Structure 1
């Protein structure tokens, strides 16, 4: 009987280890950091989340020193995708953003406003995070920190946005 208990414990431990390994394998490891070059203005990012008059929410990205854009038309080789791209007129970095709700990547963002359906949110506390990324999906960093903004929202409280974190906040609202 003692050997049966040990076998059961070892089997359970092996199954839990396999499950953890499988979850780690399913995680997206392609999103690596890329540093903002020292001769380029550091992008800033702040978020607003407003209840939509019909349904869901409207997310507004307030960026500075950043050109939200779609990838260039045609094919890009891997080196081009993973490199720094700047707007020739402004000198600002170019790229897109990634939207995460409750830690799950939802979509890419190529503009400053988008509608979020209510079914993306659970009742109670939710997180809405946005990172700035180059067209190779690498996330931008400055001063060793990821450029990210996160809102903690709770649809069960009077104050909808309960906490805000911005690694490099925009200094003036509603600027792009």
Structure 2
């Protein structure tokens, strides 16, 4: 496995922020909403140079990378989850797969959830550094 360089944000620009919201879908699975600030989620071919930082999210479920994310809304099928407690995590990176960091801290958000309980989300966390 190669060591990928990190994407560092200079102090002159706002640090991207990320948080997650998960809800049960009315038909099946879950709906994930990724709220990002000062970062544009989108595919490489639509990246606009010189605007705010642009890239993608990487979705991990229970430590396994599931897919790249180019938008804020995602449907997650039931088959991605195990019974009981699960961890959903999204990290931000550029299109060269360099993780977004400020002061050595990855910019990512996660939720612990339990599909077997009425209250779905047990705990949410965001490592978005403050400016």
Counterpart-to-counterpart distance in 2, 1:60 and 1:43: 16
- 1:110 maps to which of 59, 70, 75: 70
Alpha-carbon distance in structure 2 between the residues aligned to 1:138 and 1:44: 16
Question: Separation in 2 of the partners of 1:156 and 1:130?
Answer: 22
Structure number with larger C-alpha Rg: 1
Per residue, is there more strand in 1 or in 2?
2
Measure, in 2, the Cα distance between the counterparts of 1:147 and 1:99: 13
Q: What is the SS of the residue equivalent to 1:72? A: helix
Unmatched segments (≥5 aa) in structure 1: 1-27, 74-84, 170-176
Deviations 1:24-73 (A, max 9, x none): xxxx5454422112222110000001110111111100010001111127
Residue of structure 1 aligned with 2:44, choices 71, 80, 90: 71
In the alignment, which residue of structure 2 is the partner of 1:43?
Answer: 16
Which residue is equivalent to 1:131?
A: 91
Higher helix share: 1
Asked whether the equivalents of residues 41 and 65 of structure 1 are also in contact (C-alpha less than 8 Å), the reply is: yes
- Structure 1 Cα separation of the partners of residues 62 and 78 of structure 2: 13
Correspondence for 1:61:
34
Instruction: Structure 2: give runs of 5+ residues left out of the alignment.
Output: none
TM-score (norm 1): 0.68
Alpha-carbon distance in 2 for matches of 1:152, 1:69: 26
Alpha-carbon distance in 1 for matches of 2:14, 2:49: 12
> TM-score by structure 2 length?
0.90
